[in-house]
Chains A and B, each alone.
Chain A
Amino acid sequence: DVKVTQSSRYLVKRTGEKVFLECVQDMDHENMFWYRQDPGLGLRLIYFSYDVKMKEKGDIPEGYSVSREKKERFSLILESASTNQTSMYLCASSSGGAGGYTFGSGTRLTVV
């Protein structure tokens, strides 16, 4: 069964900490994405990547960075966590064809 695995389901971090959210896919997909999901706001795209070492800003990249050193792994980095980054973070991958995304289970991050 194909999978996108996010390393943590729940995470609590302190304001100012550097936070790493990891995502690994086993489908050999070129495309990987990071979204955040907040009540009433739906899904908002933070960053995406079409290839190794490649990254593109999404709609809300401020306060985030990403790393894609290997095809299967796409990491989201919060350089200095703030309380307004408390959210559900969803990783997804796709092959780029007609098929849609495969999502991970999500990481619920709370910044205190």
Chain B
Amino acid sequence: GEDVEQSLFLSVREGDSSVINCTYTDSSSTYLYWYKQEPGAGLQLLTYIFSNMDMKQDQRLTVLLNKKDKHLSLRIADTQTGDSAIYFCAVRASGGSYIPTFGRGTSLIVHP
């Protein structure tokens, strides 16, 4: 089945850019998502990208997709302390099951 990998931790200084990376194995993955989970809360959908796109930008967030390498990244510009959270990558194919495969999450720690 599909496997989604993320590094567990990322530490950045406030004001720097953060880049969170994700790799997946299923080349038929069509929808690719980034979720954010703040402490003690549920997951919140941040953004998503279709497999026919290379890039999507939404304010401070930039998603890059390298379909050949099955690599997805989330860049957060001007990272703030409020961005400290766990970020989950999730992917799913079109049609069939509506269930995405989630990575285990990357804990982003932003320090002053």
User: Residues on A close to B: CB < 8 A?
Assistant: 4, 6, 31, 33, 40-43, 45, 48, 50, 58, 90, 92, 94, 96, 98-106, 108
Residue pair B42, A31 in contact (C-beta under 8 Å):
no
Question: In the complex, what residues of A have CB within 8 A of residue B31's CB?
Answer: 98, 100
Residue pair A33, B40 in contact (C-beta under 8 Å):
no
Residue pair A98, B45 in contact (C-beta under 8 Å):
no
Counting residue pairs across A and B whose Cβ atoms lie within 8 Å, the total is 51
Partner pick for A96 among B33, B40, B98, B102, CB 8 A cutoff: B98
B-side binding surface: helix, strand, loop or mixed?
strand
How many angstroms from the CA of A33 to the CA of B99 in the assembled complex?
Answer: 9
Partner pick for B50 among A48, A94, A98, CB 8 A cutoff: A98
- Which chain B residues in 51-91 approach chain A with CB under 8 Å? 88, 90
Question: Given that A99-B48, A100-B31, A100-B48 are contacting pairs, would A106 and B40 also be in contact in the complex, using a CB cutoff of 8 Å?
Answer: yes
Nearest 9 Cβ contacts at the A-B interface: A103-B42, A42-B104, A103-B43, A100-B33, A100-B45, A96-B98, A106-B42, A105-B42, A43-B102
Complex: chain B residue closest to A10, CB-CB: B40
Min CB gap B98→A, angstroms: 5
Residue pair B105, A101 in contact (C-beta under 8 Å):
no
Residue pair B44, A103 in contact (C-beta under 8 Å):
yes
Residue pair B99, A43 in contact (C-beta under 8 Å):
no
10 contacts between A and B (CB under 8 A): A31-B98, A33-B99, A40-B104, A42-B88, A42-B104, A90-B43, A98-B50, A100-B100, A101-B45, A106-B40
Excluding A92-B42, A92-B43, A101-B35, 10 further A-B contacts by CB distance (< 8 Å) are: A6-B42, A90-B42, A98-B48, A100-B33, A100-B48, A100-B100, A102-B45, A103-B35, A104-B42, A106-B41
